[in-house]
Structure 1
Amino acid sequence: MIGRLNHIAIAVPDLAAASAKYRDLLGAKVGAPQALPGHGVTAVFVDTGNTKVELLEPLGELSPIAAFLIKNPSGGMHHICFEVADLAEAAAKLVEGGARILGDGTPRIGAHGLPVLFLHPKDFDGTLIELEQLQSP
């Protein structure tokens, strides 16, 4: 069902400082910040060639990243994202198997402009998983 690892997301307390570390110390290609109000975050994608690292900073006090940073002030891994060929089919199979989809189960548009769903971390060994619909060819 899951395809390629699309990205690993890291919550950071200071997006500019984290972006500079990836760009200046690691020599990575770092994208421009994108505000994603529907997800309560500002994101920057770091291109590593074979996948991406998504740096996330809270966008407002109600951001899920703000709550994460209260528990983890230095930041840390927030979620991993896998691509799926058919998001609706994947969701149905996961729910049938007992997995929980966060929110109301309706896909939202993610940072890449594609539908995404998040799976409850308690169902996946403590890891929040994002599923992203593959872009149609």
Structure 2
Amino acid sequence: MIGRLNHVALVVPDLARAAARYRDALGAEVGPPVELPEHGVRVVFVTLPNTKVELLEPLGEGSPVAGFLEKNPSGGMHHVCYEVEDLGAARDRLVAAGARVLGSGEPRIGAHGKPVLFLHPKDFDGTLVELEQV
């Protein structure tokens, strides 16, 4: 059902500093910051030969990642994103197997302009999982 690893998301306390570290110290290709008010985050994608790293910072105090930074002030891994061919079918199969979809259960448009869903971390060994329609 799941396809390739699309990205690993890291919450960071300072997006500009983290982006510079990936660009300058690691020599990675770093995209421009993008604000996603509907998700409460500002993101930068670091492109690697086989996947991406998504750097996230809260966009305002109501951001869903603000609490993550309160618990982890230096930041850390937030979620992994896997591609799926049919997001609706993947959701239905997972729900039938007992997995919990976060939010309303309906896909929302993610940072790549494609529909996404998030799965409860308690159902996936403590890891928040994002599924993205390819």
TM-score class, shorter-chain normalisation, is: over 0.9
Q: Which residue of 1 aligns with 2:95?
A: 95
Alignment correspondent of 2:129: 129
Q: Take 2:98 and 2:65, find their aligned partners in 1: how far apart are those partners?
A: 26
5+ long unaligned stretches in structure 1: none
TM-score scaled by structure 1?
0.97
- 1:19 matched residue in structure 2: 19
Name the structure 1 match of 2:50: 50
- Number of residue equivalences: 134
In the TM superposition, what is the alpha-carbon distance from 1:49 to its structure 2 partner? 1.2
- 1:33 maps onto 2:33 in alignment: yes
TM-score under structure 2 normalisation?
0.99
CA distance in 1, matches of 2:25, 2:33: 19
Partner Cα distance (2:60, 2:45) in 1: 20
Q: Secondary structure at the match of 2:111?
A: coil
Give 3-state SS (helix, strand or coil) of 2:65's partner. Answer: helix
2:79 corresponds to? 79
Q: 2 CA distance for matches of 1:100 and 1:54?
A: 23
| Cα offset, 1:58, TM superposition | 0.2
Q: Distance in 1 between matches of 2:79 and 2:86?
A: 20
Q: What do you get for the CA RMSD once the two structures are aligned?
A: 0.3
Distance 1:22 1:15 in 2: 11
1:80-131, Cα deviation, whole Å (9 max, x unpaired): 0000000000000000000000001010000000000000000000000000
Which residue of structure 2 aligns with residue 67 of structure 1?
67
Report the secondary structure of 1:13's partner residue.
coil
Deviation at 1:4, TM superposition (A): 0.4
- Which amino acid letter does the alignment assign opposite residue 62 of structure 2? L
Percent identity (aligned): 72
Moved over 2 A (4+): none
CA distance in structure 1 between the partners assigned to 2:89 and 2:129 by the alignment:
16
Q: What CA deviation, in whole Å up to 9, does each residue of 1:17-69 have, x standing for no partner?
A: 00000000000000000000010000000001110000000001011111100
- The code of the aligned residue for 1:93 comes to R
